[in-house]
């Protein structure tokens, strides 16, 4: 099951491109082109390499960015939804709650209080540390939420 | 300084390629480049930082068995190695210069809380943050 490091390096390039522009659309065709592999090969190889299908990876990055904007700016939630790549506010709110277990508004008020004390880490690394831990499919999570608190929320600083 | 960290090593997929990247593009200098059979001890140095060497090593025999080496090559290629941070006086100027040399940027320069940072990778996949902090400019 060992993947060729040369292929992995090219898959990393596609992951980097999603990181850099997570608000853009990243159909498999586009990602496969970045990695210079076929579409079928790309989706399979990416999941094998990074443990997450490419689309799901993209969602975690969008939520991460949205969380950062909720924390660090006064932009409206609608504005943040559109800036981070969602076509509708409804989809944004639903996906956000599915992934983090909280509403965008709750994250905004909660993280304001917790944002102190991170000044010694580069901001980009802080942002990675806040990355949502999306190990299960959003739909799967939706089924599982029956009032139970979601354990896969963002790692908040105490 | 007689005590402190002298060498920190990176794993790279190819030492010649890494040497060309760190010296010709980033502007480091070769500190030590010695061979013993197939083993090559290669370190480079930032011109402003004579007490520190960055080692550019390939995972493999005789230090590591083939399977471990393969795992490490995969980790490097997946960008899974720890973050590296390069301080610069002018992040945007450095970005423009490095980009023109063909360096693969993962993040364009961004202003955050009084500093400017950008991200790039070496050919192997090691990720660097390039930071211009307000503190550095005194």
Q: What does the pLDDT look like over A22-46, one tens digit per residue?
A: 999 999 999 999 999 999 999 999 9
* 3-class SS of residue B104: strand
**Inter-residue contact B76 to B126 (CB < 8 Å):** yes
- The shortest C-alpha distance from A9 to chain B (Å) reads 4
- Tell me whether residues B77 and A16 touch, CB distance under 8 A: no
Q: Does A61 touch chain B (CB under 8 A)?
A: no
The model's pTM is 0.82
| Percentage above 90 pLDDT, chain A | 60
The alpha helices in B44-100, defined as continuous H runs, are: 66-77, 91-100
Q: Which of A5, A119, A125 sits opposite B74 (nearest CB)?
A: A5
Q: Phi and psi dihedrals of A63, rounded to 5?
A: -65, -40
Q: Is A125 on the interface with B (CB under 8 A)?
A: yes
Q: What is the pLDDT of residue A154?
A: 42
CB contact under 8 A, A15 and B79: yes
Closest by CA position to A57, among listed A138, A155, A127:
A138
At A148, is the secondary structure helix, strand, or coil?
coil
Q: Give the pLDDT confidence of A115-153 residue by residue, as tens digits.
A: 555 556 666 666 666 676 655 555 555 555 544 444 444
From CA B58, how far away is CA A129, in angstroms rounded? 29
pLDDT surpasses 50 at B72:
yes
Count interface pairs A-B at CB distance under 8 A: 52
**B117–A20: do the CB atoms touch at under 8 Å?**
no
Complex ipTM tops 0.90 = yes
Q: How distant is the Cα of B82 from the closest Cα of chain A, in angstroms?
A: 11
CB-CB contact of A108 with A156 (8 Å): no
A12 CA: distance to closest CA in chain B (Å): 6
Q: What is the pLDDT of residue A152?
A: 42
Distance CA B37, CA A10 (A): 31
Question: pLDDT for B9-68, tens place per residue?
Answer: 999 999 999 999 999 999 999 999 999 988 999 999 999 999 999 999 999 988 899 999
Closest alpha carbon within chain B to A1? B71
Strand (E) or helix (H) holding A107: helix A104-114
Contact B79 A124 (CB under 8 A): no
Interchain CB distance below 8 Å, B78 and A13:
no
């Amino acid at each position: 099951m060992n993947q060729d490091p040369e292929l992995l390096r090219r898959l990393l390039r596609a992951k980097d491109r999603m990181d850099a522009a997570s608000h853009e659309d990243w159909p498999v065709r586009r990602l496969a082109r970045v990695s210079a592999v076929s579409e079928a090969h790309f989706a399979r190889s990416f999941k094998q390499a990074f443990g997450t299908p490419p689309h799901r990876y993209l969602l975690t990055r969008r939520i991460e960015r949205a969380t950062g904007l909720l924390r660090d700016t006064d932009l409206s939630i609608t504005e943040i939804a559109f800036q981070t790549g969602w076509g509708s506010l409804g989809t944004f709110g639903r996906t956000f709650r599915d992934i983090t277990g909280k509403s965008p508004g709750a994250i905004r008020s909660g993280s304001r209080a917790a944002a102190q004390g991170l000044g010694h880490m580069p901001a980009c690394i802080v942002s990675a540390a806040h990355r949502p831990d999306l190990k299960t499919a959003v739909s799967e999570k939706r089924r599982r939420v029956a009032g139970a608190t979601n354990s896969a929320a963002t790692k908040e600083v105490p | 300084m007689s005590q402190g960290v002298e060498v920190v090593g990176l794993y790279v997929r190819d030492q010649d390629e890494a040497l060309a990247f760190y010296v010709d593009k980033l502007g480091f200098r070769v500190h030590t480049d010695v061979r013993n059979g197939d083993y090559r001890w290669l370190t480079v140095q930032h011109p402003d930082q004579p007490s520190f060497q960055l080692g550019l090593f390939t995972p493999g025999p005789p230090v590591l068995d083939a399977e471990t080496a393969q795992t490490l090559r995969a980790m490097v290629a997946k960008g899974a190695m720890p973050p590296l941070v390069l301080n610069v006086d002018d992040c945007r100027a450095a970005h423009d210069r490095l980009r023109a040399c063909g360096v693969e940027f993962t993040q364009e320069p961004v202003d955050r809380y009084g500093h400017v940072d950008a991200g790039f990778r070496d050919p192997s996949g090691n990720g660097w943050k390039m930071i211009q902090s307000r503190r550095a400019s005194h």
